[in-house]
A and B are shown apart, each in its own frame.
Chain A
Amino acid sequence: MSRYIVRRLLQTIPLLFIISLIIFILMQNMGDPIATMGGRRATRPEDRERLTRQLGLDRPIYTQYLYWLIGNDWAKFDADGDGVPESPGTRQGVLRGDFGTSMINRGKPVWEVIWERVPNTLLLMVAAEIVIILFSVLIGVYSALHQYSLADNVITAVTFIGYSMPIFFIALLSIYIFSINFKRWGLPYLPAVGMFDPQVGKTPGQVAKHMILPVFSIAFISLAAYSRYIRSTMLEVMNEDYIRTARAKGLKGRSVIIVHALKNASLPIVTVVGLDFAFLLSGAVVTERIFAWPGMGRLFLDHVSRSDVPVVMGILMLLAVTVIVFQIITDVFYAWLDPRIRYD
């Protein structure tokens, strides 16, 4: 197993290099970072020329990539535009742990920009994932045990309505109902945006209250897939011989379902959940935008829209590493759960 893990980790090195190269080249065609620096007006020509030179955007793509990778503290730059390079570079490059500074949040290190958002994203996404897993297990098991009953059909219909709806619709609809209309009807209403009420302060209660609608929106559209998956694996397991044997031995129904059936039915789910965890870090772009949740999804969108190459590269590389690591963890965990699987 350890040889397998080492081999997988070594494979990630060329993989990450190729990913970074492709993303960097794609980023160059996404837009002009100088274009939006003028605010509501186009950037003035004199400023455009100067900023392009000072930010090193006049260099060929391969040079820019090289600087991103290994830094530019060995090169000199023409800061004042007199044609003579005189200012030394300051970047150390990704290979030396320096992802550079944001072009938008000028002077702010990329990792600082990213890490400020990670806790918020994890809070939202882990809470949503817990809700999704808990409810999908409950719904999936219930549906499997009451196959084709009225409740099963109703649950199936509702979860599929959620599944078929775009998340922006669910999110805006939930704001319209639980925020705007509840307030209009004089009922206790939920906050529409943000993480807390400034009049009260950022307390755990406030944060929890502000999480309700975004977590509900994310969970609602994901419940169908998970619950149907659990339902089908449960149905499959419930027809196995060892379940019949357990029942014949006189075990209680709950014990048969939880200890024998659900445990075995949840094996394939580990793969799905494991891959999901990798994407938790990427946040929920639409949900975070609508509910003004300060997470990674919004960060990505904000910086892509202004072609902030260093920050976008940082986010995408972080996600690439996370996906690869969680894939390895999932494989290892799966082998640990199911002794029949051998990687060596």
Chain B
Amino acid sequence: MNRKKYLPWMILLLITALALAACGSTAPAEPVDDSASDTSDAAPVAEEAEAPAESTEYEDRKVATFIWTQEFDTLSPLYTGMWFVTITFDLWNAPAWAFNDDDLPEPRLVTEMPSLENGGISDDGRTITLNLRDDIKWSDGTPITANDFAFTFEMIMDPANIVQSTYPYDNIASVTAVDDQTVVMTFDEPFAPWMTLWRYVLPEHVLRPVFDAEGTLDAAAWNLAPTVGAGPFVFSEWESGSYARFVRNENYYGERPAIDEIFIRFVPDDASQTAALVTGDGDLGTFIPYSDIPTLEDAGVKVMSVPSGYNEGWYFYFGENGHPALQDLNVRKAIALAFDRAALSEDLLLGLTQPAATMWDNMPYNDPTLEPWPYDPEEAKRLLDEAGWVDSNDDGTRDKDGVELILSHGTTIREIRQDAQAVAQQQLAEVGIGLDIQSYDADIFFGGMSDGGPVASGELDISEWSDGPSVYPDPDHYYWYCSEIPTDDYPDGGNWQRLCDETLDSLFTLQTTQTDFAERQATFHEITRYMFDNVIWLGLWQDPDLWAVSNRLQNVEISGASPFYNVAEWDIQN
């Protein structure tokens, strides 16, 4: 066969491949409400649909394109903790309540928020009753009842399901469906963070048959294709590595969404995300690099900064085998004073955020009188001198009893963190503190003690990452307890900083039982003041979520806890 004959075949092959690649998706599909498909053995990630013969009608549809830099791992709330997935629950699932842009709860499935006043919370705080609306239904028309809540609890706690997390449901003693509209939860102890519950509910009529047949939900088709939901939109399809589509839920019990379809495109590269937003290939993006904000704003893309409880900070290692300098409060204060975090926010973060005082910045639980440590290198030097750390051997670094004041510092490979590391190294050197900086991939950095994770194993004197409360906007934190210090018998302990402080321990224990907001707030003011004064954690910058919103999208309000709480009101200009 000569080359002349090859060429047409190759072209034909390419055209065929193009046609095949275009098959199987993705014309507008109506919401799929055939629950039978969810109970089948197959896992239909993408629904088959005809390619559009004429695209005119399709082009009239209101399609909002979101750019996600991480692809879903699964869509089942049971099996994921991925932020890019959990924030979609407000699109397609059924939270009992959502949080508005002031982070205040708004009833969704319940008629009102339970409280002491309306009897929803018992006087001893151990029983909470949820009264459900009588008009709520799944996207296939089946009513949402109290049985769905009891089923959800059962599935989370059943060891046959390898769920991502049992928190906060492991604090509940029982969930009972008294009748179709009444859910009663009981607790062994009052559980202050109860509003972190019920961010989602599972459809019992879809998943119970799967569980009964297979003994687990681990391989349920619904996990990857939750075609039955209860949000303003309903899942339509998910093509691996490419996109996921959510179309308007015609059975939605709330306000009819103005947008026909939410198209989530997975674009892993930051620069490509920015390019897509600039060219109009995307209408909404998040986790955008600070350095790209001017480019986006020049292109008419609005950037919204939304606090979501996260603050970037330094965790000091207090373990017995740690650096002796960090046991000294004066040294920790000196570190705080020697690092110009205001300039860092201004220069590296373009002034779009500011230094964090505590881990609860931008929350009502933070002591409002606290201000971040100022930049005062002279005072830092004085404190170090006072603590006995002086440069006795003239090598440029302070020392004491033969120990050099050189601290190991580690963080992840995120660019902004590595930049901050370099700045910190330079500034601390000016007061005689050496910083030995290292960076790791996230799966190594956050690895457990038994996997040799550098933070969990206590290899670093200072570790840097961004963290927030267990479930924002609740302020609870789990890893400051003495009992959480990792040991050979308990290698999974979360208190990687090895701090055992009885005052802090008792305050954290107290707040979890305070169901009265004012009492709990007062306890947290005490916690934040104590941690600040003792420089137990040093805030670098408040780490809000950055959202890029195209000028086509309208009525967009974003909350830190439930970003899409008002997505039904969003509209888009074609």
Contacts and interface: CB of A to CB of B under 8 A. Distances in A.
Interface of A: 30-52, 54-55, 79-81, 87, 101, 104-108, 112-113, 116-117, 119-120, 122-123, 126-127, 130, 172, 175-176, 179-180, 183, 189, 191-204, 206-208, 258-259, 262, 289-295, 298-299, 301-302, 305-307
A318 to B, nearest CB: 16
Contact of B22 (A40, A122, A202, A294): A202
B261 interface: yes
B448 A130 contact: no
14 contacts: A32-B446, A32-B453, A36-B446, A39-B86, A54-B162, A105-B74, A116-B45, A120-B242, A193-B67, A207-B21, A259-B2, A294-B239, A294-B241, A305-B441
B443 A32 contact: yes
A48 B81 CA distance: 13
Interface of B: 2-3, 10, 13-15, 17-22, 25-28, 43, 45, 51-52, 55, 58-59, 61, 63, 65, 67, 71, 73-74, 76, 79-83, 86, 159-160, 162, 164-167, 170, 218-220, 223-224, 239-243, 245, 261, 263, 265-269, 271-273, 275-276, 278-282, 310, 441-448, 450-451, 453, 466-468, 470, 478-479, 484, 490, 492-494, 574
Nearest to A306: B443
A127 B20 CA distance: 14
A172 B280 CA distance: 17
Nearest to B467: A41
Contacts, number: 271
Interface of B is mostly: loop
A204 B446 contact: no
Contacts of A204: 15, 18-19, 21-22
Contact of B18 (A179, A207, A292, A293): A207
Contacts of B278: 180, 183
A112 B43 CA distance: 9
B271 A113 contact: no
B51 A80 contact: no
A166 to B, nearest CB: 14
Given A198-B263, A295-B241, A183 B279 contact: yes
A81 B509 CA distance: 26
B468 A45 contact: no
A107 B446 CA distance: 24
Contacts of A46: 166-167, 170, 492
Contact of B159 (A44, A80, A207, A302): A80
Contacts of A127: 14, 17
B265 A48 contact: no
B272 A37 contact: no
A39 B281 contact: no
Given A198-B261, A200-B59, A202-B51, A176 B275 contact: yes
B300 to A, nearest CB: 12
B418 to A, nearest CB: 17
B477 to A, nearest CB: 10
Contact of A199 (B63, B71, B164): B63
A35 B448 contact: yes
A126 B14 contact: yes
Given A43-B446, A192-B272, 12 more contacts: A36-B446, A41-B468, A43-B448, A45-B484, A46-B166, A51-B164, A172-B271, A180-B275, A192-B275, A198-B63, A207-B21, A292-B269
